[in-house]
Structure 1
Amino acid sequence: MTEEKEITSESNGQENKESNVDEETDLDSAIIRQVEYYFGDVNLPRDKFLREQVKLDDGWVPLEILIKFNRLAKLTTDTEVIAASLLKSTSGLLEVSDDNKKIRRSPEMPLPEMNEERRKELLARTIYAKGFPKDISLDELMKFFKQYDEVENIVMRKYQDRQTKKRIFKGSVFATFKTKEQATKFMEAKDVKYNDTDLIILWQENYLQQKQEEYATRKEKKEKKNKDKDANEEKDDFKLPTGTVLHFTQSNEKMKREDLKESLDTLGEEIAFIDFKVGDPEGWIRFAKENSAKQVAEKIPEGKLRICDTDVVFKLLEGEEEKNYLEKTVEEMAKRRKNQKNFKQNRGKNFKGRQGRKRKQDDNGDATPAKVKAS
């Protein structure tokens, strides 16, 4: 009689279990979806806390631990309700302990290894969608995607508001479908909308590539802008006064800059630079003060001076001629400064390298004495 009761009881339990599956409520579905997400292929590999819990007791995690997770706690903190809901799951991902106090991921469904191949596989079934309301909830997003196919994970893309420091939803998501085929089906759907808003949809890989290209373009523009700014600042540093340049021609192959300077110094204006090399048939003399070349030109009879037994013919640069010469001079001065700066930096590095290098040792292990200059 007792045995018959036990069999009847077991039979009733089986009927109740099948009945529970048929009677799955919205709360059951939400609990199953949330807990299976925690232990799923996408979340578990990156959830450090949960991975540590899984290692403690042959994979079993107490429900008392899980109800501390925010999204599950918003659904319920009643562990009996959670256990009852999970028993209705048909995915086979989770096991519930006999006492309904703990759950674990089924040993028959081991976690895939997260490697490059796995990352590419996830990328291949993940899409980008934009156009959702800023105040939409994750549950509403899940409900939206469910009408297309089973979604394994949804990442609500957010940014931090500078003033409030709060994380604000951008209106776009990354959604990972269960299979590549399901993701493709969604991507091929026409006129995908949320309410009356057309959604912008892309494969995640294409979206990321697009963003990388945009970032590279912005970076290039920024670098060019900074480079142009630096160049303009350098030009401003070398801004030269006008009315300061005399051009000259001469035929003495031995004339030197010193000869020119000695003759022109007698005319009373400070010379900034003489652009001339021995043997050149022409050259330029740039004076330091505004319009000083004009004053010198007025002091040169008929524009000629006798220097080193040669007539040197001078002409004041004006207008476009002067402008072009001064711009070229500024560029050359900036270039020289940059080269000098680079030379000093490289010399400093080389000097440190020589200082830090050990002297070669001789066969006895003693350092070879440094060379001494002969006196």
Structure 2
Amino acid sequence: MAARGDVRFELFEAEDERETLDFDILDKIIKQLEYYFGDKNLSRDKFLQRKLESGNGWVEIDVLLTFNKLRSLTYKKWTVSAAFYWKGSQLLEISRDETKVRRKPAHPWPRRSRTELDELTVFVKGFPLNTCTDELDKFFGQFGQSVDVFMMCHNKTRKFKGSVFATFATKDEVNAFLSRESVKFNELELTRAIKQTRHAIRVKKDAEYEALAEPAEELKVVPGCLLRVTGLDKVTTWKSLKEALEPYAKVAFVDYCESKGEAVLRFIEEGAAHAVLTKLEQHGKGLHIDGNRVIVEALEAGEEVEYWKKLAAIKRKLRNRRGRHNSRSVQRGKKRRSEERSISPDNMME
């Protein structure tokens, strides 16, 4: 047994469970925990938010060890305790009985809105495709004390795309990073843009598309029926998504984007999305699909409106395609009938 301040840990739990400490693994454990408790992840992880609220800021290590990425590093509480002993964390601390983790009182969860986080998030691209997490953490460590880096990867292959979202702690750090005349990674020039600016460009393109389109037909809008599911594994299918949520509410449609690893489920009844979240909270285990814990959240009012608008545009586009297809089919049919009449025996006899 070793001790350091108020934190102590046992090197092994039993004689037949000896395990050699890998200091690289301990470092990865701390970084993974800091990601879970980071501002950006907490803003969207409703499950973890509820655990923080019910535990007065603390989350049981047993709960954290059910998360896939942490479980891939260790499945034992004492290893997490050892990580705090040997590596420590500027953001987090472990309880005296070594069973829980929380953000340090000096770094309370700011409960920032998505808009505020977007203002602190920079889109950066141009990294080599073989760049690893440790290299990115070290690189962005030059520009801020606590930068949350999210690597963008292809969902099916899990290969890095060469671009990241980097969330800084303050607006000053963001401005300092963007105001640099040049930012290079291993002599490669990087492209930088504030996330809001990148989003605004996409919104403008959507608006231009809708302006060119015909007025959408009236859709039967069902308020509060849309539920977003993120963090899906590449083996997940629309069928397994539906089966996982059918016990909570009747699913009308599954809008699944495999490349992004996320889906929007449309329920039949009004207000079903919040009802599902309430049931999941009562169970207290979150939602697991294909053995993977996923994040679920109800779409906000503004997001619902945008979703229904896009759905209307898709329906209109499909209808126009069918119209053109039917028109061509009719023309081909007329041509065939004309040709048949021209070579029929009766016509030949005339």
What TM-score does the superposition give when structure 2 sets the normalisation length? 0.49
Higher relative contact order (CA 8 A, sep 6+): 2
TM-score (norm: length of structure 1): 0.46
